[in-house]
Structure 1
Amino acid sequence: MKGTRNRITTEPQWPVRLASHASIEPPVDSVGPWIVALDGVPRARISQDVASVLKELDGEKDAGQIALTLGAPWTASDVGSVVERVAPTGIFDAGPRRNAPRRVQFRAPLTVQLTLFDPSSVLPALHPVVTFLLRRGSLALLAISLLGGLLVVSSTGTDIVRLFSSPLPLATYLGVAAAMFASTLLHELGHGLALSYFGGKPRRIGIMLFYLSPAFFCDVTDGWRLASRKQRVMVALAGPLVHVGLGSLVLCGQAFMATSPHKDGLLLYGVLCYTVALLNLFPFIKLDGYVALMSALDIPHLRRKSLAAAEEIVGRFALGTTVQVPHPGFLALFGLASFAAGLCFVVVGFQRLVPVFLQLGMAGHAAVALLIGLLAILAVKGIVRFFRTAAANGSTLWRRTLALLLGAGLTSAVLATVPVSSVQAAGFSLEAGQLSIVFPKDSELPSIEAGDRVSLQTQGTVVHTELGLATVGSLPPSEANAPLESIAPVTLPGITVPVIAYDAEIRAAHADLPAHGRAEVTSNVRTTLGEYLWNAVTSSPLWPGNAGKENR
């Protein structure tokens, strides 16, 4: 069909009946849409007339008998047309009964969900809380708190930078981590509570690995039964509003406290709450901002449709397909932005997690290899699907072959010509005027040579401000002990860790250069991107012949 992707569908065989895991969900109110659902998850919105047809599909009556049951103006042709249009949702019986939904589920492109519990029976008891929060006095108090929180953030910029660029006490990290864990759970309960308050049914709450980052989730897909776009938008924004409210109250409260680690922890927590809220409003990933936008536009599966539109636009220009997208401007641009955002999220998550896993020895390297394999499979599947769709939509063989050759040539050129220098994160320790670049003793032996450049930085969780420059000396490395804050943004007075130390010489430094901090060592040896990746692969303990070799 022109304008759509080619799909392999099975024509329903009469007499037709609904699958055991399918249901026809009524609207929350008299004007809302009916919903076709599988395992309780909405698949399509339908009218009341279509719902009346589907409810008559008992596996015994044919189309003519159903038309007689419904009465005029229904005909057998009308009933058959309804069944054909709804068949792609997969709600008709196609074999044995399916198993119940699994607690662990995979969602493309890179999300794994673990269901913890069904909150639908608990949340109605909390409806009075929503009623209280929606009163004018409560809304006014929250607005004042938000204004106060924003004023605190704008007036304490120096302190905020210090918190993110300096090591902090372990107790502060643990307290903030516990508070963020609890507030993130409240964030998801906020979504569920809003949906429940408007008459919907939140189905699942759990934890997930979202683009390689851990997070909570709450299944509020039942919100499509709500007739009001405003209510659906409010359900989507309820979670970020929880973080904004908590952050505002804490920021206002800590403003009246004396300087202390507790005050620092509260300030850090408040800023993180605002950051989480802003991140969740990002519309190009399946976060709350995306759901709010999708609800406001009233376009179900906006991301899927926009990615398909972008794919068809790219196929038209690159492969000569003849498909015409109904609304190429908005959908295609949104799809391209969504694709780029998803790619960036994967890269950021990869950069955050891979160094941690690589420190875990053989098991960590195996986990990274599996992750890279999964990403490669997803990429290959996407490319194959793209070219198959293009072929079905009129792309000639020579155009597809040329595109593959150009893609392979461009990739080869990038691998062979793009220069890279190895950059390794380390720590530094300055004692009695002697600078040492230190690595954890159990880490792999770094490839450091005399003369390599060193950037001396603050040891922060997020911000690493450059404080000086140095070069690696010519003396061989030695074993030593260094404070924990040399290799991690944590202060534990009196606690040292075993390290491998390289001597270094300071070339330039600020007057306030601390005794310990973060270092970035940049190799003077430049290689191509292809050589760099090959060396990384062949140096892994998983590479044949490397098993059993010592890290150092």
Structure 2
Amino acid sequence: MTVTGDDTSEAAWLEDARPRLRSAVRVGPALARGPATIHYVADAQTRAYFQVGPREAFLMRRLDGARSLADLGAEYAGRFGRRLDAAHWQRLLGLLADRRLLDPAGPDELARMREKAELARRSEGRSALHWRVPIPGAARLVPAVGRRAGWLLHPVVAAPLAVAGLVVCVLVTLNWSALYAEVRPGWGVLAALLAWLMYAVHELAHGVACHRYGGLPTQIGVMWRFPLMAPYCKVDDVVTFPRAWQRVATAFAGVYVNLALLVPLGALWLWGPDGPRPLVAALLLSGATIVLVNLLPVLRLDGYHMLEHATSTADLQGESFRFAAAFLRHGPAGVRAYPRRARWLHASYTLVSVAVLAPVAFLVVRLWFETLAGLWGAKAAVLVLGAEAVLVGVLLRWWVLRRQRRRAERQD
């Protein structure tokens, strides 16, 4: 890709070169990440994902093998006000070639990229508090499941089922004490197993929705997230879906399935026989809890991702906390680089998070203090809480530094 010689040879190369992005490569929509705008790039063959800026995304979308670099340079100049020379093109095309995003790319090269991407995915975010065990071949079963059960995601079916599930969820909330009184310990193991299976279907629904809109899950398996063991489904392709509603629907699919499962359970509780009522009550409580917890936008669960996709943002929570920290350290000058929309969005999310999490944290600390004081006395309870606060502060600092290091590595 190196061009040597005078301006004539450079111009001839720009006129003749017609690079083409491989058909398996998709460039996602613009997403706001703090003060910047990014695009995700996905390779459906290697399952590798990259992050680029708006200028690179503009050019990559136009690498179709029909237009020359000179033609693309003219379009680029009309959009960004400057024309790219051969050196700029060589850097961009060299980067794309290194990642095997251009045609042609041999099967051995693609296999190596696939192995590298899978290794990175397996090692991502592993710690004593969080790790994943993917089930081999599980993600490849999603298209078959989608062909048989995808009709459940059609709006004509999904809308009334979701509304009916919300009605049952409200009824469960209003009758929480009565349902809890009906739960019997003898049904506990079976109720826990069925609730776990309900959540497995929840995760599978994300994969089916991802496939419905043109993607495919990268992993399906079991995840340890302290203190729970739960199924998971990674739908990384969602960041390349062109329409926000497709991304929101994929994030909502799990909650939708839980709402749909609440409908027959609600009918059984209202009109069914008395024998299985303790089991039905336990499943209604667990199902409604899954729905309500997942919809909270301050937790990094479905509701949070729905909000991210609806606002076309990336890492909304982390960027909001960085925004708040910059504002607290430097005042308005610290957030001047953020566009107006980003300032409003990050400030709103931070305020909502504080409004939701602060009372919850206060109640948890109060309950824990009262428990410790009842065991060892008030002074000992204060010492224990103080030590725990220091430990939490150290862990949070380690977590922040770790995220900053990983973010710097991704940018490199």
Normalising by structure 2, we get a TM-score of 0.63
Cα separation, 1, equivalents of 2:204 and 2:296? 20
Q: Deviation of residue 235 (structure 1)?
A: 0.5
Alpha carbons 1:36, 1:45 under 8 Å: kept: no
Q: 1:143 to 1:224 in 2, by over 3 A?
A: closer
> What residue in structure 2 maps to residue 299 of structure 1?
313
> What residue in structure 2 maps to residue 526 of structure 1?
378
Match for 1:36 among 28, 31, 41? 41
> What residue in structure 2 maps to residue 439 of structure 1?
none
Cα deviation 1:289-315 (Å, max 9, x = unaligned): 111111111122322322221121121
Q: Deviation of residue 205 (structure 1)?
A: 1.4
Match for 1:283 among 286, 293, 297? 297
Match for 1:268 among 271, 282, 292? 282
Cα separation, 2, equivalents of 1:303 and 1:35? 18
Cα separation, 2, equivalents of 1:331 and 1:162? 42
SS in 2 for 1:200: coil
Cα deviation 1:478-526 (Å, max 9, x = unaligned): xxxxxxxxxxxxxxxxxxxxxxxxxxxxxxxxxxxxxxxxxxx825843
SS in 1 for 2:135: strand
Q: 1:338 to 1:83 in 2, by over 3 A?
A: farther
> What residue in structure 2 maps to residue 215 of structure 1?
230
Q: 1:80 to 1:54 in 2, by over 3 A?
A: farther
SS in 2 for 1:283: coil
Match for 1:80 among 88, 110, 116? 88
> What residue in structure 2 maps to residue 187 of structure 1?
202
Query: Which one has a larger percent helix, Structure 1 or Structure 2?
Result: 2
Cα separation, 2, equivalents of 1:139 and 1:92? 40
SS in 2 for 1:218: strand
Match for 1:169 among 185, 206, 218? 185
- Count of residues in correspondence between the two structures: 330
Cα separation, 2, equivalents of 1:273 and 1:174? 16
* More displaced 10-residue stretch of structure 1: 298-307 or 219-228: 298-307
> What residue in structure 2 maps to residue 243 of structure 1?
258
Match for 1:114 among 125, 128, 133? 133
SS in 2 for 1:286: coil
Alpha carbons 1:208, 1:217 under 8 Å: kept: yes
> What residue in structure 1 maps to residue 349 of structure 2?
334
Alpha carbons 1:251, 1:270 under 8 Å: kept: yes
Query: Which one has a larger percent strand, Structure 1 or Structure 2?
Result: 1
> What residue in structure 2 maps to residue 324 of structure 1?
336
Whichever residue aligns with residue 41 of structure 2, its letter is V
Q: Deviation of residue 263 (structure 1)?
A: 0.9
Q: Deviation of residue 323 (structure 1)?
A: 5.0
Whichever residue aligns with residue 313 of structure 2, its letter is I
Q: 1:153 to 1:233 in 2, by over 3 A?
A: same
Cα deviation 1:185-223 (Å, max 9, x = unaligned): 110110110010111121111222335433322111211
Whichever residue aligns with residue 324 of structure 1, its letter is R
Cα deviation 1:129-149 (Å, max 9, x = unaligned): 455325677457626743763
> What residue in structure 2 maps to residue 153 of structure 1?
172
Larger Rg: 1
Match for 1:423 among 371, 392, 397? 371
Whichever residue aligns with residue 132 of structure 2, its letter is Q
Q: Deviation of residue 114 (structure 1)?
A: 2.7
Alpha carbons 2:138, 2:219 under 8 Å: kept: yes
Cα separation, 2, equivalents of 1:51 and 1:24? 13
Alpha carbons 1:205, 1:219 under 8 Å: kept: yes
Alpha carbons 2:323, 2:335 under 8 Å: kept: no
Alpha carbons 2:248, 2:305 under 8 Å: kept: yes
Q: Deviation of residue 102 (structure 1)?
A: 5.1
Cα separation, 2, equivalents of 1:144 and 1:73? 47
> What residue in structure 1 maps to residue 8 of structure 2?
none
Q: Deviation of residue 236 (structure 1)?
A: 0.6
Q: Does 1:51 align with 2:60?
A: yes
Normalising by structure 1, we get a TM-score of 0.49
Alpha carbons 2:27, 2:39 under 8 Å: kept: yes
Whichever residue aligns with residue 51 of structure 1, its letter is M
For residues 4-23 of structure 1, the aligned pairs below 5 Å read: none
Q: Does 1:226 align with 2:277?
A: no
For structure 2, the 5+ residue unaligned runs are: 5-21, 30-37, 77-82, 102-111, 389-412
Q: Does 1:26 align with 2:26?
A: yes
SS in 2 for 1:181: helix
Q: Does 1:124 align with 2:136?
A: no
Alpha carbons 2:180, 2:285 under 8 Å: kept: no
For residues 408-419 of structure 1, the aligned pairs below 5 Å read: none
SS in 2 for 1:199: coil
Match for 2:271 among 252, 256, 259? 256
Whichever residue aligns with residue 144 of structure 2, its letter is A
Alpha carbons 1:236, 1:291 under 8 Å: kept: yes
Cα separation, 1, equivalents of 2:206 and 2:241? 14
Cα separation, 1, equivalents of 2:75 and 2:164? 59
SS in 2 for 1:255: helix
Cα deviation 1:210-248 (Å, max 9, x = unaligned): 354333221112112211111111101000011111122
Alpha carbons 2:222, 2:229 under 8 Å: kept: yes
RMSD: 4.8
SS in 1 for 2:371: strand
> What residue in structure 2 maps to residue 466 of structure 1?
none
Cα deviation 1:516-543 (Å, max 9, x = unaligned): xxxxx8258431656446999xxxxxxx
Whichever residue aligns with residue 322 of structure 2, its letter is A
Cα separation, 2, equivalents of 1:212 and 1:14? 57
Cα separation, 2, equivalents of 1:54 and 1:211? 45
Q: Deviation of residue 285 (structure 1)?
A: 2.1
Cα deviation 1:444-483 (Å, max 9, x = unaligned): xxxxxxxxxxxxxxxxxxxxxxxxxxxxxxxxxxxxxxxx
Alpha carbons 1:313, 1:325 under 8 Å: kept: no
SS in 2 for 1:300: coil
Cα separation, 2, equivalents of 1:339 and 1:154? 24
> What residue in structure 1 maps to residue 323 of structure 2?
309
Alpha carbons 1:307, 1:335 under 8 Å: kept: yes
User: Which runs of at least 4 in structure 1 moved beyond 6 Å after TM superposition?
Assistant: 53-56, 90-93, 107-110, 339-349
Whichever residue aligns with residue 326 of structure 2, its letter is E
> What residue in structure 2 maps to residue 395 of structure 1?
none
Q: Deviation of residue 55 (structure 1)?
A: 9.3
